[in-house]
Structure formats: C-alpha cells, structure tokens
Structure 1
Amino acid sequence: MKFGIYNEIQASPGANYKQRYDETLRSVELGDALGYDVFMTLEHHFFPTFSISVNPLAFFAAAAQRSKNIRFRAMCHTLPVHNPMVLAAEIAQCDHLTDGRLEVGVGRGHGWLYDPASVPMADSIGLYEESLEILQRAWSNERFSFEGKHYNVRDVEVVPKPLQPSLKIFQTGTSARVFGDAGRRGGGVVVGAAPPPLFTEAVNAYTAAAKEAGNTPQVGLVVPVFLADDEATALREAREPMMRSYANLVVPQESINNEEVKERLRGGGFHFYAGGFLNQMKEYTFESVLANDIAFVGTPSQFIPWLQRFRERHYDFQELALMADFGGQAEWQVARTLQLFARDVMPALR
C-alpha cells in the first residue's frame, strides 16, 4: 500500500492566495517528513473556490526544494487546453527540477473549463487522444512526427527529455473506455472524493484490462479525511469546513447548468457534467456525506475498519491519498490529520 496527500488548494471566499500556497507547501514538507509517498494536486483555472492550482508543475518545482523523498503527481493535466509539444517539454523540465520525482496525470479535465479557455468541447476527445500520443512520442524519441486531425508535427525534437527513463502516467475520470486503455497500457488510475458508485464500472474495466494485459493494477483512492484523537471532537470540528468545501466545489457547475451548454457538453462526451451531478452537492448534509462513504470523519482506529468495509462494498485500491485540507480548515487541523494517519493508520496498512 502506498500513501498520498491530495490537495485541491481550494480558496474559500475571502482567502489569501499567497497564504494558501504557503500552507500547502508546508503540508508537503510535513508529508515528506512523515513518510507519505506522493503529493497530488490538480490543474484548474477560472474558479478559485474549486482550486487555485493553476500551474501544478511550478508548485512541484517549488515543493521539491523543500522535500527529499515525496513524489509529485498532477491529477490531472487538462490536455485539450495545452499545446502538447510545449507541455511535453514543461513536464520533462519539471522532472529534472524535482530530481526525478515526477509522475504524470492526464485527462480531459472539467467540462466547465472549456468555454473560458476558448476550446471547443466537441474537440475534447480528439485533442485529448492526440495529445497523449504526442506526449509519449516526445519523451521516448529523439525526434518525432505526428499527423492527426488537430496536430501535424514534422520532425520535431522536444527538449529536454525527462530525467527518469520513463514517466508513470495516471488517468482520472469516470470513463470505462479510458480506464480500460490505461490498464492495457500499464498506467495507473486515481478516483474518489465523490460517491464511490460513480467509479465502480471504470475501476472494474481498468482492473480487468490490466490483468488481461499482464500489468499490475494501481488504483489510487482519494478520500476526504478529518481525524482527531476522539470521535466527538472530529465530528464537531469537521462539520463546518466539510460543508463549506462542498459549497465551494459546486460553484463552477453553476456556470454550465443552462440547456445550451449542456447540449454542447453532451456533444463533447461530457455526460457527467451535462447531467449536473455536482448540483447534488447543494443537497448534501454532513450526515449523508459520511453515510455514503464519500468522506471519513473520526479517529484513526475507526478509519482502519472503515477502509476494509469500503473495499468490501465498492472496489479495491493499492494507493490511499488523504484529502485533509478542505473548506478553510485551520492549518493545525490539516497537520493533525496527516500526523495521526501516519502514526496510527500507515503501520496497520503496510
């Protein structure tokens, strides 16, 4: 079992952005000292309550100067909004700046990013697939060419090449087709921070494809977690920031709720967003979030059997990442969750 930290770097209304970056850098330092394996954040734009992690590579380069062992992974780079030849070089440079501690997460990203980025939703699948192919060719070939619908590349040398001989690629989302491709290719997947049934079909497709291809599955699970030494304290302290977090996350969904946008979302294969799933977060209660295995609040000794029940009810995983920073918590509360998990849960799961 590997252990990670996932931080969306939410900026609740009124938050100081510099403070949020500094707090997150300190959480990476703490995670490194405590023995966590990987730190993850996403790439996100335009909607600060969801995330101000607009450039994960820059953040990783800074965090690498303050840590020794922890690895870094963006979940995920939104490939259709990038020039893939440029992104390939930027990722490779970051691998050098992190001393070969970089992993790569890819996806089509959130449906609400496309209009502000002036990228046609209808092109998202083609742009994603061509971009992923270009990234892999750019890293593994001295020079390469590519001819597709969206990109035509003639004898290009992308520099630098990654420091590592190969970069592990992870995918996220809810698509069984995409996850099956990841399993056949030998990559990993990351899911979670939402109702587990959303991911069951995709995870099962990934696991089956990986095993059929002779690859070892690597499913990463992200769980919003709030730990304290006693249950009453955890429940009392977690309620307000957890519910504020869901109010933060639903904000960008409101930008794509009209029917004209939903039609374009469906045309681009963004059925999850067209269905308005995140609107359901407006109806979440603290009790429903915990009852439906979306998040965990309690003590370390309670978390261990909760994880076993999660496996039995939903799907297996080989990596567990805590989303411990959400909804404007105090920094000491985030640190306490990371410390208690490392002290009491990690040894029981290794």
Structure 2
Amino acid sequence: MNFGIYVEMQNPEQYKKPHAQVYREILEQIEHADKRGFSTFNTLEHHWFEEFSISANPMALYSAAAQHTSNIRFRTCSHVLPLHNPMVFAGQAAVTDILTGGRFEFAVGRGHAWVFPKASIPLEESRGRFVESLEIIEKALEEEVFSYHGKYYDVENVRVVPRPTKKPRIFTGGASNHNYELAGKKGWGVLITPMLPLEHVLGQLDIYRKSCKEHGNTPDIVYVQALYLDDGGERARKEAEPYILQFMKGNVSPAKELPPKEEMIKKDFGFYASGALESLADIPYQKLIDDEYVWVGSPDEIQPKVKKVIEACPDLSEIALLCTYAGMEHWKTIRTQDLFSQQIMPHFQENKEEALVRY
C-alpha cells in the first residue's frame, strides 16, 4: 500500500498567513514527506476563493519541490480544464514532467460551478470545453503533430513543445457518475475526495469497476483522508476540533457565490443546486469523527481505521492523507507525518521498493 500527502492550502481570514509563508511551509512539508517515504504529494488547482485554497499554480509548486526531493511524485487533484487553453496546458504539463524528472501526474475535472463566473466562462459551456480540452490534451501528449476541429477549439498542424519524457498518469473523480464511467473507459485512476467517508462513494466505485471491466482496464483507486495525529488520543481530539471545523467550513465557503439554483440545474450542475455540499459544514465535530469523515487520535487508534479502508476497498492503490489545516502550527503537520510514517505505515508497507514498483 502506498501513502501520500494531500494539501488544500486553505487560508481563511480567521487564520490568515502571508501567502509566501504558506508556500514556504508547504515546500518544507513536501521535502519532509519525501524523506519519510510518502509516495505522492497532492494538491488541487483552485482560484479566487482564499478560504478554500490559494493553490493557483500547482505545476510551479511541483517544479520547485522537485529540486529538493528524490522520490515523491506530484499529483494535481484536479486541473480545471475549461479554464485553460489546452494547447498551452499540454506544453506546461510537458515542462512540469521534465522539471520533476517524470514525477508529475494529474487529475482532470470540469470544475466547481462557482469558478466560471469569475473566469468569464458561461456555465453552459463548461461541459463542452472540458470534453474538447481533454481530447486535445491527450492528442498533444501522444502525437508529435495533431489537428482538432471542435466547437470551441479549431487548430491545424499543432506541435506542442517541449515533449514530455512520457505521458503522465491521468486521474479523475468528483461527484459525477459520468467521471467514473469515463475513467474506467480510459484506463485512468480515480480520486476519492477528503470530504466523504468511503461508504458514501462505494456506489460510484462500483460504476468505475464495471466500466474498467467492460473496457479491459485495471482499477486504480486513490482515497484521500483527513487526519490529525498525536501521541495521546484525547489530546488529539481536543486540539483538532477548530482545525477540522474550519476545514469543512472552508470547503463549502465558495458556495455563497454560486449561481441561482434554477440556472445550475438547467446548465448541468445539479449537485451544486442540491444543498448537499453546504450541509457538510453543519455536521457536528463528534459526528465527523464517529462517521469517519476525519480520523483523529493516536497512532494505535488510527491504525485499525487504515486497515478497515484497505480491506473494504479492493483495487485501492494509495491512501493520501490531509494533515495540514488552516490555523494549525506548521510543526504539527510535521508531527503527523512522523507519527504516521513511523508507527502506522510500516504495518502496511513492508518493502518500500515493492510499494513504489507500480510507479
């Protein structure tokens, strides 16, 4: 079993840090995670909503971190394709692949409904732009010269340079069943977000496995889990409460700028009209722990939870741990990495070289 690190880079007003400090601390956390044997560093691409994330250019972050690390891979969860010119994105992805020594991989997504007004992109264009961008990026990474004729992009004899050392691994995820069907068809991996317990997404994973089987592909599942560790379980649960509650609040904070519900339903964003996302911020802290939205406790308490997820989810290739929270001291993230890598990881990862072989 592989174990990674996931960071959202939330920076709410209540716990605001200088942006440069946030990035310095994240770079130190990546370097430390590499030394402790974590397989991947994961973050998202998100713009304009600081309480949610200030991770506006993950490929630049990876390129910087790669200069101070040796083994850890870098994965975006995910790039919002409708925001990008796909011919330009493909070249940037190739540069990132080169500068990270082939350690770059990424997930693709249509994006949250709230980003499109800020980007001056009509909501109804997001699906079509996503589909065309994805088709172009795949062509650009696989073919020396390509042409494409669609509704939003019309190009002839384009050659993206530089060329990547190899085509990066691709993932997807999110709330749409369509994404899981597409991932199975394409042979991609899927990412389970840190906002939901595993049992909430088992149905979508079944869709993914069925699609993989129909198209002759092997399932590859990455499960992202929020975590807070301390030597003492009671102390961990007491300390973590404000960080966990702010994490949930930050994830739903942009919802206050969503378009009207009628418009979202009409334009293929029904999930955001349902109110399901906003309800996550109202879940009491103890219920978040009891229902395993988050893992909070000592290593001895968390180890069985890791085992439970591994046993409950065939085809699981990695658990990526979110252990950086707004308002929390930097050293506490380092402590969680240390405790997990020293007291939990060895029980599920007997041989580091074997764990990394699929990469």
TM-score by length of 2: 0.92
1:78 aligns with 2:80: yes
1:64 aligns with 2:66: yes
Q: Which whole-Å deviations, capped at 9, do the CAs of 1:121-168 have from their partners, x for residues lacking one?
A: 11111111111110010011111011112111111111111122x211
Match among 98, 102, 105 for residue 104 of structure 2: 102
SS of the residue corresponding to residue 146 of structure 1 reads strand
Select which of 30, 33, 36 maps to 2:35.
Answer: 33
Taking the aligned partners of 1:142 and 1:20, their CA distance within structure 2 comes to 39
Opposite residue 129 of structure 1, the aligned amino acid is: V
Partner of 2:269: 270
Question: Given residue 4 of structure 1, which amino acid in structure 2 is its aligned partner?
Answer: G
* CA distance in 1 between partners of 2:339 and 2:281 (Å): 31
* Distance change (3 Å), C-alpha of 1:22 and 1:8: same
Report the equivalent of 1:176.
Answer: 177
User: Which structure 2 residues correspond to residues 122-201 of structure 1 after superposition, within 5 A?
Assistant: 122-164=124-166, 166-196=167-197, 197-201=199-203
Q: Which sits farther off after the overlay, 229-238 or 261-270?
A: 261-270
| CA–CA distance in structure 1, aligned partners of residues 11 and 228 of structure 2 | 18
Question: Structure 2 CA distance, aligned partners of 1:202 and 1:267?
Answer: 23
Paired position in structure 2 for 1:9? 9
- Contact 1:243–1:327 (8 Å) recurs in 2: no
SS in 2 for 1:149: coil
Matched residue, 1:295:
294
Aligned with 2:69: secondary structure? coil
Q: Specify the SS of the correspondent of 1:63.
A: helix
Partner of 1:113: 115
Deviation (angstroms), 1:30: 0.5
Aligned residue in 2 for 1:89 = 91
TM-superposed deviation, 1:89? 0.5
CA distance in 2: counterparts of 1:249 and 1:176, whole angstroms:
21
Structure 1 range deviating more: 210-219 or 173-182: 210-219
Question: Are 2:240 and 1:238 aligned?
Answer: yes
Structure 2's unaligned 5+ residue stretches are 350-359
Tell me: CA distance 1:116–1:315, structure 2 relative to 1, closer, same or farther (3 Å). Answer: farther
- State how far apart, in whole Å, the 1-side matches of 2:153 and 2:266 are: 21
Q: CA deviation at 1:316?
A: 6.0
Matching residue of 1:226? 228
User: What SS does the corresponding residue of 2:238 show, helix, strand or coil?
Assistant: helix
* 8 A Cα contact 2:2 2:319, kept in partner: yes
Displacement of 1:78 after TM fit?
A: 0.1
Query: Could you say which residue in structure 1 is the equivalent of 2:356?
Result: none
Alignment partner of 1:163: what SS?
coil
Of residues 205, 208, 211, the one that matches 2:210 is 208
**What's the RMSD between the two structures over aligned residues?**
1.6
Q: Name 1:331's counterpart in structure 2.
A: 330
Determine what percentage of the aligned residue pairs are the same residue. 38
Deviation string 1:155-185 (CA, Å, 9 cap, x unpaired) is 1111111122x21101021222221221121
Cα distance change on mapping 1:295 and 1:315 into 2, 3 Å: farther
Paired letter, 1:186: G
Amino acid at match of 1:319: E
Per the alignment, in what secondary structure is the counterpart of residue 158 of structure 1?
coil
Using the size of structure 1 for normalisation, the TM-score is 0.95
Contact 2:141 2:163 in 1 (8 A): yes
Aligned pair count? 346
On the 8 A contact 1:253/1:276 being kept in 2, the answer is no
**What's the offset of the Cα at 1:315?**
7.1
Q: Judge which range, 41-50 or 171-180, deviates more.
A: 171-180
Shift of 1:311: 5.3
